Every structure is written in structure tokens, then in C-alpha cells.
Structure 1
Amino acid sequence: MPGYPATSPGFPPVDPAAAVPGFPPPAAPKKKRGVLIAAIALAVVLVLCVGGGVTAFLTLRNVETGEGADEPAAAVDQFLTAVYKERDATKAAELVCASARDEDKIAAKVAEVEKYASAYQNPRFRWSTPKVDNQNAERATVTAKVTMTTSDEKVADQELRFTVVQKTGWWVCEVG
């Protein structure tokens, strides 16, 4: 009624959503299911994208670039030539399997050989023909004896054992 306040002293406040006698109560507000469905779909897509990205990274990070050697012994011989005769860390790294290819470590090893060789008069490195001790379709163990000879008749030998793996050819993966 006009002029009267909505509430009067002594009367409870009037709830406009309350049912009026003879009329049904107002419907409850509808929940927005579209937002919930969109959020769930977005979460599923995000999980699939992240999972696919991680899978692709793990699959492709060990991919060999180029072609390895035809034989395990040839892979070892090429590696020894790169390290001991040519002293070329970049070339040596190209002969190492992707999972073991740490260019800094390979460069440090070549530098170590260079430093060792510079301490002697006219050093020459040679090695026995690499010998395959154990081989299957995916992996081989190869041994070789590296000998350094100097012009003043000093001689030093070192037995090396290589683990060589077959991917796109044979690659040196471990030296011990």
C-alpha cells in the first residue's frame, strides 16, 4: 500500500520470494552447468596437451642425428681417431650416442688428452684393432688398448672398454 513502510514495528520483514497464498513458490535459480562443463573440458584438453608434449620430448630427445658406423669396432676406431689423433671434440661428439652426448665432457676429455700429450716429446697415439667381445642386435662391448709412444722412447698403455649401441648405425655410448 502506498505510504506504508514495507515493515512495521512488531511485524517481521516481508520476504519478496515467499510464496503468496494461492500462487506457487518462485523457482530456484538455475545453476550454470555450461561453465562447469567448459571448465572440465578445458582441464581434460590441458592434461592431454601437457601429456603429449612430455611424451614427445622424452621420445625425441634420444634421437640420433646422422648415421652411425657400420660395425661396432668401426665406431670405436672412429671415436679413438677423433679423440687421440685429431683431438677434435666436435667430431668425437658426433660419434657418441645421444643419451651420452655431453659436449662439455667430451671437450674436457679431448683437452685432457691434449694436456697429457703436451707434457711429452712428440707423442704418438696408436691402438690395437678394436675387438668386439660381446654383441647382440642392439648393443656391443668393444675393447682396445691405446698406446702412447714418445720420441724419447717412453711408452704408456691404457686398456679401454666401450659400450656401443645400434640405433641408426653403431654409436659409442660409454667408455670405461
Structure 2
Amino acid sequence: MVDWLERARREIPESVDRDTTVTDNRNPMAVMAVPQPAKSENPGSSIVSNGSIPKAVLSKIEETAIRDWLAYIKETDPEIIAEIMDRCRSDPEARAYFLGRSGEVPVDPIDDRRHCRQCRNLIAGGLCLAAQRKEIKASLYPMDNLPRRCEGYLPKPNDPGQRVGRQRWPGLNWKKMNPVGTP
């Protein structure tokens, strides 16, 4: 499982000097916070740094995405995981690399199916009123342990989506799917 780690080490150059101090060749006692002050990225402004690598805070979403990718590739070694997380906090290129790799994790599609207990057509005894009225071809007493898409679905008042089954799943017309069968 270390192949990806070696690949990351090859692809991400060591962009940050890991030493915390740099001495001036002319004066060995002088310590500079920036290796080449004249070529600093922030000319004319104080960086208030001792040259150490700043630790950037990963957002919870970024950290979760990287940890999900590590779990997806079955990386379980806590030392390697800690090394990667530290590297992502200190190196923007490493962070971008691992966040890019986290896009490889398959995402589950949103499940829009509903349980019968979420429908106003199911009454206390477990009877489906839509089936009783013969609006749909279904069992009068459906099994509720299976989520499903049903034309007779009628949302309860506390359901965030207030579309009925025929609007929510327009392709579920039973007669279209079984033109020869009985209604």
C-alpha cells in the first residue's frame, strides 16, 4: 500500500526548505528569517517568522476527504496517515495533490426512495390506502423494511419534499411498464 506514497513523493517536489534557520555567509552569527530577503514574496512587509514551516489548518471537509481516500485505498498505518496529514498542513502542493486524489473515492448517489412509513397513505394497521383505492397495483399490507419508489406516495407534512409519487418519479407508470398485464 506504499506505492501511492512513493508516487506522491516523486510528484510533489520538496517546495519548502525544511531548515528553520539560514545563516548569512558573510556573518556566520547572523540568522535570517527569510533565505533571500531581496527576493521575498512579500517585499516591504514584515513576515514575523523565524523561517519555520507554517501549519495551515485543514478544514474538516478537506481532512475528511483525504482520510476517506486513505480508507478507500486501504491505508491503515497511523504513522503514514499522520505524515500525510502533516504534509498537507505544511505544503500547499501536497494538499492539492491529495485533495485531487480524494476525488477518486466513489460517491453514493442520493437515494430518493421512501419507506412506506413515511407516506400518509399508510395507516396505523399497516394498510396502504392507495392500494385499497386501487390507485396503484401494490399489496394492501406492504413490507416496510424496503425503501421504494411508489406512484401512490403521499408525503407527510414534515417531509421536506412535498411532491407526490407521480411527480417525484414520473417514469413509474405501471401501465406503461406492463401494457399486457392486468391493472
TM range (shorter): under 0.3
What's the TM-score once normalised by structure 2's chain length? Answer: 0.21
- TM-score using structure 1 length: 0.21
Name the structure where strand makes up a greater proportion of residues. 1
Higher-RCO chain (CA-CA 8 Å, sequence separation at least 6): 1
**Greater C-alpha Rg:** 1
